[in-house]
Amino acid sequence: MINKFPGFERISKLFDLFEEMAMLILTLCITAVAALGLIHVVYAVINMIRDATLSPTSPEVLQALFGLFFTVLIALEFKHSILVTPSSSSHSLIRLRSVLLIGIMATVRKFIVMDLSKIDVMEVFALSAATLALGLVYGLVRARQDGGSKVHD
Protein backbone atom coordinates (compact mmCIF):
# COMPACT_ATOMS: atom_id res chain seq x y z
CA MET A 1 0.00 0.00 0.00
CA ILE A 2 2.75 2.45 0.92
CA ASN A 3 4.56 1.58 -2.33
CA LYS A 4 1.79 3.38 -4.25
CA PHE A 5 2.63 6.81 -2.81
CA PRO A 6 4.36 9.09 -5.31
CA GLY A 7 8.07 9.38 -4.65
CA PHE A 8 8.18 6.40 -2.29
CA GLU A 9 10.82 4.55 -4.32
CA ARG A 10 13.05 7.60 -4.43
CA ILE A 11 12.78 8.15 -0.66
CA SER A 12 13.38 4.44 -0.11
CA LYS A 13 16.55 4.57 -2.23
CA LEU A 14 17.76 7.62 -0.32
CA PHE A 15 17.19 5.85 2.96
CA ASP A 16 19.04 2.77 1.68
CA LEU A 17 21.96 5.02 0.72
CA PHE A 18 21.87 6.65 4.16
CA GLU A 19 21.82 3.22 5.82
CA GLU A 20 24.83 2.06 3.80
CA MET A 21 26.77 5.23 4.66
CA ALA A 22 25.88 4.89 8.35
CA MET A 23 27.05 1.26 8.34
CA LEU A 24 30.29 2.26 6.63
CA ILE A 25 30.97 4.99 9.20
CA LEU A 26 30.09 2.67 12.11
CA THR A 27 32.31 -0.04 10.65
CA LEU A 28 35.24 2.36 10.39
CA CYS A 29 34.69 3.58 13.98
CA ILE A 30 34.39 0.06 15.41
CA THR A 31 37.44 -1.04 13.42
CA ALA A 32 39.41 1.85 14.91
CA VAL A 33 38.22 0.95 18.43
CA ALA A 34 39.09 -2.73 17.91
CA ALA A 35 42.51 -1.85 16.47
CA LEU A 36 43.30 0.51 19.36
CA GLY A 37 42.09 -2.12 21.82
CA LEU A 38 44.32 -4.74 20.22
CA ILE A 39 47.30 -2.38 20.35
CA HIS A 40 46.52 -1.77 24.03
CA VAL A 41 46.41 -5.55 24.70
CA VAL A 42 49.73 -6.13 22.92
CA TYR A 43 51.31 -3.17 24.74
CA ALA A 44 50.04 -4.44 28.13
CA VAL A 45 51.35 -7.97 27.51
CA ILE A 46 54.75 -6.70 26.31
CA ASN A 47 55.04 -4.47 29.40
CA MET A 48 54.11 -7.37 31.68
CA ILE A 49 56.71 -9.60 30.03
CA ARG A 50 59.35 -6.86 30.10
CA ASP A 51 58.68 -6.00 33.76
CA ALA A 52 58.38 -9.70 34.71
CA THR A 53 54.90 -9.07 36.16
CA LEU A 54 53.14 -11.53 33.86
CA SER A 55 52.21 -14.18 36.37
CA PRO A 56 49.79 -16.79 35.03
CA THR A 57 48.87 -17.75 38.60
CA SER A 58 47.83 -14.26 39.63
CA PRO A 59 44.04 -13.81 39.40
CA GLU A 60 44.36 -10.03 39.18
CA VAL A 61 46.69 -10.23 36.17
CA LEU A 62 44.48 -12.76 34.41
CA GLN A 63 41.37 -10.71 35.12
CA ALA A 64 42.95 -7.62 33.63
CA LEU A 65 44.24 -9.46 30.54
CA PHE A 66 41.03 -11.37 29.85
CA GLY A 67 39.03 -8.19 30.37
CA LEU A 68 41.11 -6.55 27.65
CA PHE A 69 40.75 -9.60 25.38
CA PHE A 70 36.98 -9.64 25.76
CA THR A 71 36.75 -5.92 25.04
CA VAL A 72 38.46 -6.46 21.69
CA LEU A 73 36.34 -9.55 20.95
CA ILE A 74 33.14 -7.65 21.71
CA ALA A 75 34.19 -4.84 19.35
CA LEU A 76 34.97 -7.37 16.61
CA GLU A 77 31.62 -9.13 17.07
CA PHE A 78 29.86 -5.76 17.00
CA LYS A 79 31.61 -4.95 13.71
CA HIS A 80 30.53 -8.33 12.36
CA SER A 81 26.91 -7.64 13.28
CA ILE A 82 27.02 -4.35 11.35
CA LEU A 83 28.42 -6.03 8.23
CA VAL A 84 25.51 -8.48 7.82
CA THR A 85 24.04 -7.70 4.43
CA PRO A 86 20.33 -6.90 4.43
CA SER A 87 19.81 -8.91 1.24
CA SER A 88 20.96 -12.17 2.83
CA SER A 89 18.38 -14.75 3.75
CA SER A 90 17.43 -14.74 7.43
CA HIS A 91 19.08 -11.31 7.82
CA SER A 92 17.17 -10.44 10.99
CA LEU A 93 18.00 -13.78 12.64
CA ILE A 94 21.70 -13.33 11.91
CA ARG A 95 21.64 -9.83 13.40
CA LEU A 96 19.71 -11.09 16.42
CA ARG A 97 22.26 -13.86 16.96
CA SER A 98 25.09 -11.31 16.80
CA VAL A 99 23.39 -9.04 19.33
CA LEU A 100 22.78 -11.99 21.65
CA LEU A 101 26.42 -13.08 21.34
CA ILE A 102 27.56 -9.56 22.19
CA GLY A 103 25.33 -9.61 25.27
CA ILE A 104 26.66 -13.01 26.33
CA MET A 105 30.27 -11.89 25.85
CA ALA A 106 29.64 -8.68 27.79
CA THR A 107 28.16 -10.55 30.76
CA VAL A 108 30.97 -13.12 30.69
CA ARG A 109 33.47 -10.26 30.60
CA LYS A 110 31.74 -8.78 33.65
CA PHE A 111 32.13 -12.10 35.46
CA ILE A 112 35.82 -12.22 34.58
CA VAL A 113 36.67 -8.69 35.72
CA MET A 114 34.52 -8.90 38.85
CA ASP A 115 36.47 -8.15 42.02
CA LEU A 116 36.24 -11.38 44.02
CA SER A 117 36.92 -9.60 47.30
CA LYS A 118 33.85 -7.38 46.90
CA ILE A 119 31.27 -9.80 45.50
CA ASP A 120 27.66 -8.74 45.81
CA VAL A 121 25.44 -11.84 45.76
CA MET A 122 22.55 -10.05 44.06
CA GLU A 123 24.85 -8.76 41.31
CA VAL A 124 26.15 -12.28 40.67
CA PHE A 125 22.57 -13.58 40.67
CA ALA A 126 21.46 -10.89 38.21
CA LEU A 127 24.41 -11.54 35.89
CA SER A 128 23.77 -15.28 36.08
CA ALA A 129 20.10 -14.79 35.22
CA ALA A 130 21.01 -12.47 32.33
CA THR A 131 23.55 -14.97 30.98
CA LEU A 132 21.05 -17.83 31.27
CA ALA A 133 18.30 -15.82 29.54
CA LEU A 134 20.62 -14.72 26.73
CA GLY A 135 21.86 -18.28 26.29
CA LEU A 136 18.33 -19.68 26.13
CA VAL A 137 17.19 -17.11 23.59
CA TYR A 138 20.35 -17.67 21.55
CA GLY A 139 19.67 -21.41 21.54
CA LEU A 140 16.07 -20.88 20.43
CA VAL A 141 17.11 -18.50 17.65
CA ARG A 142 19.84 -20.84 16.48
CA ALA A 143 17.47 -23.83 16.50
CA ARG A 144 14.98 -21.85 14.44
CA GLN A 145 17.63 -20.69 12.00
CA ASP A 146 19.18 -24.16 11.66
CA GLY A 147 15.75 -25.77 11.32
CA GLY A 148 14.67 -23.30 8.66
CA SER A 149 17.78 -23.77 6.55
CA LYS A 150 17.76 -27.58 6.46
CA VAL A 151 16.19 -29.37 3.54
CA HIS A 152 13.95 -32.25 4.59
CA ASP A 153 13.70 -35.29 2.32
pLDDT in tens, 56-97: 777 777 788 888 888 888 888 888 777 766 665 566 777 788
pLDDT for the residue numbered 99: 85
pTM, entire model: 0.64
pLDDT for the residue numbered 153: 36
pLDDT for the residue numbered 119: 81
Q: For residues 152 and 146, give the distance between their C-alpha atoms in angstroms, rounded to a whole number.
A: 12
pLDDT for the residue numbered 16: 83
> Which regions of the chain are under pLDDT 50?
151-153
